[in-house]
């Protein structure tokens, strides 16, 4: 069965497919439950696909708020009521009185947390606020972060642990760009967004450092569609907001939003 499943996913995703199928199989056959680390949307899609294949398994998702991007999953036998289960989430509130603090961004907070030796899977969404940041974290490392995170990008910070109900979620901000492109190919649109040449954007694509909707995409000619989210390691993320009509010269009008 696993060989059949492999055909639906990228070869690089096989280790996660193996792990996720083990969670599902153990829940269905041995009545075991598994609370996962935070999964990105692609991993979530894979796990949900596998859960759907097993008639005796259920899953609950939680990331702190309705539109969370990174979420933990509780995989369990379908006879269990999962709504009252503790999903192991806390909020790490980060604040500082320094004016410079206002210039810190998502990457600064992430870098500071990972710099303490924390694995990415222990960290959920990061919500940047005017006065600091709310980070959704796994409860088992919350105390360590609260005790040891004293600075972010050379700015001294104060931390506090809050219940997940106290999360102040932020909406991702997009810097909109209007493009006219010869085609809807990944390499062409990504080159325009990053302001790299078509030749230079090929390197990260072919190296597997580009993801479309959280799935590795190594084909430069792969067409993008409205709603696609593209992440390029080292260059951030953008979303295809709208694909309009053709110009008089036969080029596509495309509106994208860069995550800032």
Give the per-residue pLDDT at 26.
97
Q: Tell me, yes or no, if the pTM score tops 0.75.
A: yes
Phi, psi dihedrals of residue 112, rounded to the nearest 5°: -65, -40
**Which stretch of 18-27, 110-119, 128-137, 161-170 has the lowest confidence by average pLDDT?**
128-137
Which domains, from first to last, does the chain contain?
2-77 (3.30.1370.160), 89-166 (3.30.70.330), 174-259 (3.10.290.10)
Q: pLDDT, tens digit, for every residue of 180-213?
A: 999 999 999 999 999 999 999 999 999 999 999 9
Query: Does the pLDDT at position 84 exceed 70?
Result: yes
Q: What is the mean pLDDT of residues 164-190?
A: 93
């Amino acid at each position: 069965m696993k060989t059949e499943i492999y055909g639906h996913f990228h070869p690089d995703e096989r280790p996660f497919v193996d792990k996720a199928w083990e969670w599902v199989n153990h829940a269905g056959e041995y009545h075991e439950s598994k609370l996962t680390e935070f999964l990105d949307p692609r991993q979530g899609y894979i796990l949900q696909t596998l859960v759907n294949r097993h008639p005796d398994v259920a899953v609950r998702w939680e990331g702190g708020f309705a539109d969370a991007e990174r979420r933990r999953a509780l995989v369990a036998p379908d006879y269990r009521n999962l709504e009252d289960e503790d999903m192991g989430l806390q909020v790490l509130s980060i604040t500082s009185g320094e004016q410079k603090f206002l210039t810190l961004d998502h990457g600064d907070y992430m870098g500071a947390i990972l710099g303490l030796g924390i694995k990415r899977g222990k960290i959920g969404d990061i919500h940047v606020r005017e006065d600091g940041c709310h980070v959704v974290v796994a409860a088992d490392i919350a105390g360590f972060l609260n005790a040891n995170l004293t600075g972010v990008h050379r700015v001294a910070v104060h931390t506090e642990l809050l219940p997940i109900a106290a999360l102040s979620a932020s909406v991702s901000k997009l810097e909109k760009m209007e493009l006219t492109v010869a085609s809807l190919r990944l390499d062409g649109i990504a080159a325009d967004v990053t302001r790299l040449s078509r030749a230079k954007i090929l390197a990260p694509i072919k190296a597997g450092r580009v993801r479309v909707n959280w799935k590795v995409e190594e084909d430069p000619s792969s067409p993008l569609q409205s709603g696609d989210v593209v992440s390029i390691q080292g260059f951030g993320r953008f979303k295809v907001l709208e694909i309009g009509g053709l110009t008089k010269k036969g080029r596509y009008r495309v509106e994208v939003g860069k995550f800032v």
